[in-house]
């Protein structure tokens, strides 16, 4: 059983030809809202990946924006442990998605900023705790320590990038980061492999967008190339990767298979608009992987190994 402790936001999204530069105004298309937040997106991805009961600790405001988030989590089958701080708005995110499916996001944390150490529910029955960095860092640290003491595997998606409290990484079993977050955390210059080698966690996974991902587990390195899709919106793709990865790991799937399923789920998430709305079902991932099963592209693997400094 997996517990996700993290943020829940309502996403206010507009598509535009390009993401505005500082001081620039860009005329975009129709405005849409979606259920989002890195924590809630990952909880939905874990639940939709199938095979593992998923719970989430979250904080919501007492406003109209809480309901669509609760509805999305509920329809994915996530059991909620909800904190409702007085007088605070539900978290919100303002997202511009450009014609290349890339995005720029600004988050107003609202109720997410109120999660505290004492809000953690009983850890009885859970084998994995999955967190991100859109809730207070002292809560993240307290939850990690409690989970470690209760023998859970602690998974941290260190996003958005920020300085971590001392001691947090030593409590993390599986760290998932993108390339920018990896460089910010490792504090060295060098290749992806060299950055991965610096981090103290037993397993570190770096997602590299369309290229795929690279993992270091103890001293061994693994690569998974990306799946080519017609991307319309990359929002939530990294979250889908994390949720699907943890669902697979919590069912004792080998890391290489878990990376493949998580990468396929993330690729499919890029083909639809929105965050939770774009998370694929387990069946969709299996069908996609069946179609892709004969495509072991030696050139792509070699290019990824070269990019990561493994060749």
The catalytic site residues sit at: 239
**Could you give the strand order of the β-sheet that contains 9-15, starting from the edge strand earlier in sequence?**
31-36, 9-15, 91-97, 103-108
Is residue 248 within 8 Å of 288, Cβ to Cβ?
no
- Give the nearer residue to ligand RIB in terms of CB position, either 92 or 127: 92
How does DSSP assign 168-231, residue by residue?
A: TGGG-SEEEEEHHHHHHHH---S-HHHHHHH--SSEEEEE-GGGEEEEEETTEEEEEEPPP---
Residue nearest to ligand RIB (CB): 36
Relative orientation angle of helices 66-76 and 38-49, to the nearest 10 degrees: 20
Q: At its nearest, how many Å lie between ligand RIB and the CB of residue 296? A: 30
- The 8-class DSSP code of residue 121 comes to P
User: How many separate helices (H) and strands (E) can be counted in the chain?
Assistant: 9, 13
- Give the nearer residue to ligand RIB in terms of CB position, either 6 or 212: 6
Q: At its nearest, how many Å lie between ligand RIB and the CB of residue 159? A: 7
Tokens of 193: 């492999």
Tokens of 34: 């979606």
Q: At its nearest, how many Å lie between ligand RIB and the CB of residue 15? A: 15
**Among candidate residues 306, 285, 129, 292, the one with its CA nearest the CA of residue 223:** 306
- Would you call 148 exposed, middle or buried from its count of C-beta atoms within 10 A (0-12, 13-18, 19+)? middle
Is residue 151 within 8 Å of 126, Cβ to Cβ?
no
- Give the nearer residue to ligand RIB in terms of CB position, either 37 or 280: 37
- Give the nearer residue to ligand RIB in terms of CB position, either 38 or 216: 38
Sites of contact with ligand RIB (CB under 6 A): 7, 9, 11, 36-38, 41, 93, 105, 107, 134, 235-236, 238-239, 275
Q: At its nearest, how many Å lie between ligand RIB and the CB of residue 254? A: 27
For the beta carbon of residue 159, count every other beta carbon within 10 angstroms: 19
- Give the nearer residue to ligand RIB in terms of CB position, either 238 or 243: 238
Q: At its nearest, how many Å lie between ligand RIB and the CB of residue 294? A: 32
Cα of first residue to Cα of last residue in the chain, in angstroms, is 38
Q: Is 84 helix (H, G, I), strand (E, B) or coil?
A: coil
- The 8-class DSSP code of residue 294 comes to T
- Give the nearer residue to ligand RIB in terms of CB position, either 206 or 308: 206
Q: At its nearest, how many Å lie between ligand RIB and the CB of residue 221? A: 26
């Amino acid at each position: 059983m997996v517990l996700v402790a993290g943020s829940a936001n309502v996403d206010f999204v507009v598509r535009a030809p390009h993401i505005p530069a500082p001081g620039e105004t860009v005329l975009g298309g129709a405005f849409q809202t979606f259920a989002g937040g890195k924590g809630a997106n990952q909880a939905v991805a874990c639940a939709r990946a199938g095979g593992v009961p998923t719970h989430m600790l979250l904080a919501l405001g007492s406003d109209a924006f809480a309901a669509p988030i609760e509805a999305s989590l509920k329809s994915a089958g996530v059991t909620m442990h909800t904190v409702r701080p007085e007088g605070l708005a539900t978290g919100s995110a303002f997202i511009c998605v450009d014609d290349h499916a890339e995005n720029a996001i600004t988050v107003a944390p609202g109720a997410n900023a109120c999660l505290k150490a004492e809000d953690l529910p009983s850890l009885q029955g859970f084998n994995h705790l999955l967190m991100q960095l859109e809730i207070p860092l002292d809560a993240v640290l307290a939850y990690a320590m409690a989970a470690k003491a209760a023998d859970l595997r602690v998974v941290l998606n260190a996003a958005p990038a920020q300085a971590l409290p001392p001691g947090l990484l030593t409590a993390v079993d599986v760290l998932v980061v993108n390339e920018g977050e990896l460089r910010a955390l490792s504090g060295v210059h060098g290749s992806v492999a060299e950055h991965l080698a610096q981090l103290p966690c037993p397993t570190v996974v770096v997602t590299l967008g369309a290229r795929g991902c690279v993992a270091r587990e103890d001293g061994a390195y693994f690569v998974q190339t990306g799946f080519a899709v017609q991307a319309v919106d990359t929002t939530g793709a990294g979250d889908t990767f994390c949720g699907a990865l943890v669902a697979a790991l919590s069912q004792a799937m080998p890391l290489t298979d878990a990376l493949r399923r998580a990468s396929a789920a993330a690729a499919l998430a890029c083909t639809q608009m929105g965050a939770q709305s774009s998370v694929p079902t387990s069946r969709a991932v299996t069908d996609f992987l069946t179609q892709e099963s004969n495509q072991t592209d030696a050139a792509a693997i070699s290019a990824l190994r070269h990019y990561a400094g493994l060749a």
